[in-house]
């Protein structure tokens, strides 16, 4: 059976990518190279005080998941939304494969896989795929 589903969990530091069918899986990790990405905002200064998004980090994630069929993007913060916007702008074919963007705190790999399996099972049942 081919690995049809991909869940990408990311924050600003790390990404976990799991390609899976309902009986097989591949787990990959991408770590952001910059160790300290904290930005401290000072009063009366221009700017949002947020760490800027890193397109290279997003490109590394894309390389790992480039053969995905159906994609669920998840994470606890704004990184998941920024990654989705990056896909829309720079990887439109891959962006069209994104089923949803969901907020999930910091699950273990097992918890993430369980969540994704349940999510995709529901999606597959709605569109008539057989997992």
Per-residue pLDDT of 41-61, as tens digits, reads 445 555 444 556 789 999 999
pLDDT-based confidence at 80, cuts 50/70/90? very high
Say if 113 falls within a structural domain.
Answer: yes
Residue 58 in contact with residue 86, Cβ under 8 Å?
A: yes
pLDDT of residue 103: 96
Is 65 a domain residue?
yes
CATH code for position 108? 3.30.420.60
Domain that holds residue 74: 5-33+51-127
Tell me, yes or no, whether 62 lies in a domain. Answer: yes
Q: What is the pLDDT, as a whole number, of residue 39?
A: 39
Query: Are 121 and 131 spatial neighbours (Cβ–Cβ below 8 Å)?
Result: yes
In a domain, 41, yes or no: no
Q: Residue 9 falls within a domain, yes or no?
A: yes
Joined tokens for residue 74: 């998840």
- Are 40 and 49 a contacting pair, CB within 8 Å? yes
Count of domains in the chain?
Answer: 1
């Amino acid at each position: 059976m081919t690995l049809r589903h991909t869940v990408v969990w990311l924050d600003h530091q790390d990404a976990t990518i799991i390609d899976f069918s309902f009986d097989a899986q591949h787990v990959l990790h991408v770590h952001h190279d910059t160790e300290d990405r904290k930005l401290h905002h000072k009063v009366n200064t221009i700017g949002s005080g947020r760490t800027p998004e890193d397109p290279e980090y997003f490109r590394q994630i894309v390389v790992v998941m480039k053969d995905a069929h159906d994609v669920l993007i998840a994470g606890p913060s704004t990184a998941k939304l920024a990654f989705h916007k990056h896909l829309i702008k720079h990887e439109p074919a891959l962006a069209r494969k994104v089923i949803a963007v969901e907020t999930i705190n910091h699950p273990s790999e097992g918890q993430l896989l369980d969540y994704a399996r349940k999510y995709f099972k529901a999606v597959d049942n709605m569109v008539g795929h057989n997992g």
